[in-house]
Structure 1
């Protein structure tokens, strides 16, 4: 049976039957997500671009913006994910990586030369003149003409690499969309756990690339760019057959499935701890080549550990509990039949109702749930146009819902402020006198990973056992973030590591909770597009809080400390970021208040969806 092939009808892929294929797909998604972390390694080769092409810091900052935009703007793959099979989404992402990073490699190695990205002497002169005019505010007709010429030529060669870098890092959006939405569909009753796992591996991908860069590539930026250009497509081609829609697991009482998820979570945590220790050892000690290769081999084995589950299922197969799941399986099989020539075809992001039909509750119990929800304002039994929360929404239908924008605001307050600290963590560490900012970055990355794992699994447990809305954990972590930002604002060296730890965990929880919340409230029909729309929070937060706020305050304080320097680049002391941290704390306070309103609105919906202890799709009445 062809697993990843697309049918003739646009976004149609054949559904793979059996209990083993979803776990093979999850293991394959691990490698896809590790490859999708290419945007995190920009600091490893940015200096090589600066040296090879003669860029100044402002030009390099433009490339950094392109790096963030490419990673987070995934609206196109979000739209196409509902029309194309997963293997084709992965193939497009591979092509983006090959084209984008391949172009960067050609530029850095100077395999291709003028006139595409290397500035000529005239362009260098124009750049210098722009810098002078920007400082002294010279306004003259000749000067303005020179600025125009210089800006045009500089923008031309910078834009070439900005576009290339944006295309390369945009591969992350394509790969992440294919891996996430496919596995969310394959494990519809464990959405939080799956989201935390898959996005958790993205969080450790930076450490995986760093370990490879320091060990196997011997700190060579050009080799790293070549690895990104060739390695990402190779990895995707090898695993894209296995990342495909499968018959979903619908037995919520399956103890074996719970143990499989527990094993995968434990192995991912072991990988995260190992990478943090290996990074610190490599940064503080001089390791021999033999030890370096050994550490790299152990990392590969840990990345392969999720394959132990399908291997175990092959050696020790379990007999299916037909009596318990026959109704659900029959429902799925009936809905998935679209005709005599397409008997095993399903779209990548088909409707939730095709496989989540409920727990076979009686009509009377469902009516009671609906009446209770109506009494609390969650639903209205009057007939209206459009779906209710919990049904499958189109993207346009979700955009006009207040809950969609409340979730966007809550996520923006948490992640937008968190990414500000992440982008400036090295400068924050230097400002308070931290000896090695690499350890700070490693600590934040590991805690971000832990937060994603915990956010997915803990929210999954409480939503099943207590019907507690997942955004409750976004509210709790934003309260902690308020305290954390105030700790950062003190500027005490002794608190920098503790603050970084708490912030990394809270940042990861925000991400892991947002994903299943979107799928539960608005369904899986246009989940890929909605999920990628939420990711716009990252570049928006970086622009408002990092570029406009933190950058301005940092430069202003640096100018105070070095009044005689034309463009001071270093600021020391707590005042460099104190006001920024105060603003971030206020924003998180606002996010906490908005989350209280949001939780109150969706609590009856979660009580309806999880009344039986597991996710069930509501009846198809037109409710709002």
Structure 2
């Protein structure tokens, strides 16, 4: 069995790969217009389908409860199975008149619930296998969720002959890819007992950051420059696939180093034994044991000298009665969820402005969302080195302000501002959703994290329903005023963008209030007392 240092990095790689494919709903804007025509549904009905994927998150807390009693690999398989059934049935019967609208809604909701199960597995692996660097590990893993749309669009462009329509191609990929990856990473989805941190953690994280940056750069180049530089979709998919596979080199390298270390230790013991000096050998053994015991005692004393304010564990009904929960709930809904609603409507927004390459715009938002999710990992890693920790609620508030400004930028009808605002909203939405994972733990503790965070993300279906339906209503009203079924021009979403920008500004104020309430205990690292002072305190 793998030793802890290589095993826990293997679990992180498994989490990264799961996150990379755990956004099958993110490619919905690419084929939503074709689905609308194929099933002859209205814009309001189409927005309800986008909401359906988020509606599955209303029951996401079931995955948190299941993770308390089932192995994590089983929880991941349940999520992948839900996606296989939800998208697979749509793929098989999409052309049939027997597949009604309400069938599509329920199947999409089932697949959306499956996303929660896989997310829960990834979060718990990062938190439990990286106790001292859980923030960095969570941010790294969740950053790859931002690449989901890019991965699925690249696969669809690389293999266009998978189905007879673009819609069926994406539905097939959404059904099969998550299950395939889950089967591949299942052996690594375990919590390992890490009694001591590996000495190479810092170097491994730096290598992981370099790989992640290279992967993000490749995704951005493929999103905005593939046509200009002549890179085909197949070549881009190969380069992206190689970079996504590269993280496996970290646990492999650690395992090789551990094996070589064991070989050297064995050879050293054999040389000592061959000397035939039993007396000196026993003396040497005693010395080694005493030194190790002294070192362990020293570490234990230093650990005891850590002054740390105990964190209150909140769960169940106490969570719903907490004012901080509702401030957190609505500030998340008015920012991160609002950004997700914008991204879900990106296909219709691009179509109303006459932009034909919807997949390019979706890939752009996915790529910048990836960097947004990665940003907290950098900040946590380097701030922890200086002995400080950045408040998660403060980070969320600072990310909401530029996001509100981006919605107002969309009032300008030039295509440049659409691309710029999409990049900003994608970045901020990705960062907020990544920060929120650690914020839940920071505010309410780790004991009930699996359930608590799934209760928090229930704001996503609520916000998706409210904001999505309102946007569709205004779109239909504008189209009706023009006497057409579809709306064209910047005026189709002008009122929507103004309202969304104002709502996001309100969310910024709510999150600032939450930060003011929680800053006394959130975002601080334990204060370590020097060992000499600890000894003096023990003598007294």
1:405 and 1:524 mapped to 2: Cα distance?
Answer: 19
Structure 1, 52-61 or 597-606: larger mean CA deviation: 52-61
Q: Deviations over 1:273-299 (max 9, x none)?
A: 213323445667987xxx554433322
Residue 263 of structure 2 is aligned to residue 277 of structure 1: no
Cα offset, 1:442, TM superposition: 2.0
The equivalent residue for 1:77 is 63
Alignment of 1:52-451 (within 5 A): 59-70=45-56, 73-108=59-94, 116-117=98-99, 157-218=100-161, 220=163, 221-248=167-194, 251=197, 256-280=200-224, 292-317=233-258, 326=296, 360-362=303-305, 366=307, 390-431=311-352, 434=355, 436-451=357-372
1:282 and 1:569 mapped to 2: Cα distance?
Answer: 31
1:359 and 1:606 mapped to 2: Cα distance?
Answer: 23
Cα offset, 1:515, TM superposition: 0.7
Cα offset, 1:477, TM superposition: 1.3
Given candidates 428, 432, 439, the residue that maps to 1:517 is 439
Relative to the length of structure 2, the TM-score reads 0.81
1:475 and 1:49 mapped to 2: Cα distance?
Answer: 37
Which structure has the higher relative contact order (CA within 8 Å, separation 6+)? 2
Q: Indicate if the aligned counterparts of 1:215 and 1:292 stay in contact, CA closer than 8 A.
A: yes
Residue 473 of structure 2 is aligned to residue 556 of structure 1: no
1:53 and 1:494 mapped to 2: Cα distance?
Answer: 33
1:417 and 1:46 mapped to 2: Cα distance?
Answer: 19
Q: Which runs of 4+ in 1 moved over 6 A?
A: 283-287, 318-325, 327-330
Q: Secondary structure at the match of 1:605?
A: coil
Q: Indicate if the aligned counterparts of 2:57 and 2:460 stay in contact, CA closer than 8 A.
A: no
Residue 388 of structure 2 is aligned to residue 472 of structure 1: no
Q: Deviations over 1:364-389 (max 9, x none)?
A: x73xx76xxxxxxxxxxxxxxxxx6x
Q: Indicate if the aligned counterparts of 1:413 and 1:588 stay in contact, CA closer than 8 A.
A: yes
Q: Deviations over 1:553-596 (max 9, x none)?
A: 33333344x2xx2x4311313x4333323322322332222222
Q: Deviations over 1:490-518 (max 9, x none)?
A: 43444332222222221112111111121
Cα offset, 1:304, TM superposition: 1.1
2:527 and 2:504 mapped to 1: Cα distance?
Answer: 31
Structure 2 gap segments, 5+ residues each: 263-290, 530-540
1:226 and 1:322 mapped to 2: Cα distance?
Answer: 57
Q: Secondary structure at the match of 1:20?
A: helix
The equivalent residue for 2:426 is 504
Structure 1 gap segments, 5+ residues each: 2-15, 118-156, 331-357, 371-387, 614-624
Q: Deviations over 1:27-82 (max 9, x none)?
A: 11122222322222334555665566665655544433323323674121122122
Residue 512 of structure 2 is aligned to residue 569 of structure 1: no
Cα offset, 1:398, TM superposition: 2.6
Residue 383 of structure 2 is aligned to residue 456 of structure 1: no
Please state which structure has a larger fraction of its residues in helix: 2
2:476 and 2:360 mapped to 1: Cα distance?
Answer: 25
Q: Deviations over 1:462-481 (max 9, x none)?
A: 36633431221111111222
Q: Secondary structure at the match of 1:393?
A: coil
The equivalent residue for 2:521 is 605
Relative to the length of structure 1, the TM-score reads 0.71
Cα offset, 1:432, TM superposition: 5.3
Q: Deviations over 1:311-363 (max 9, x none)?
A: 11122239799789957999xxxxxxxxxxxxxxxxxxxxxxxxxxx96253x
Cα offset, 1:600, TM superposition: 2.3
The equivalent residue for 1:538 is 460
Residue 434 of structure 2 is aligned to residue 491 of structure 1: no
Cα offset, 1:305, TM superposition: 1.1
The equivalent residue for 1:153 is none
Q: Do the aligned partners of residues 536 and 324 (structure 1) sit closer, same or farther apart at CA in structure 2, a change above 3 Å counting?
A: farther
Q: Secondary structure at the match of 1:218?
A: helix
Q: Deviations over 1:215-252 (max 9, x none)?
A: 0243634454344433322321221111110124764x
1:284 and 1:73 mapped to 2: Cα distance?
Answer: 44
Structure 1, 524-533 or 37-46: larger mean CA deviation: 37-46
Q: Indicate if the aligned counterparts of 1:97 and 1:229 stay in contact, CA closer than 8 A.
A: yes
Cα offset, 1:20, TM superposition: 1.0
Q: Indicate if the aligned counterparts of 1:217 and 1:224 stay in contact, CA closer than 8 A.
A: no
Q: Indicate if the aligned counterparts of 1:554 and 1:571 stay in contact, CA closer than 8 A.
A: no
Question: Over aligned residues, Cα RMSD in angstroms?
Answer: 3.3
Residue 20 of structure 2 is aligned to residue 34 of structure 1: yes
1:608 and 1:572 mapped to 2: Cα distance?
Answer: 49
The equivalent residue for 1:582 is 498
1:422 and 1:526 mapped to 2: Cα distance?
Answer: 30
Q: Deviations over 1:130-161 (max 9, x none)?
A: xxxxxxxxxxxxxxxxxxxxxxxxxxx33233
1:224 and 1:494 mapped to 2: Cα distance?
Answer: 28
2:61 and 2:168 mapped to 1: Cα distance?
Answer: 30
1:411 and 1:328 mapped to 2: Cα distance?
Answer: 44
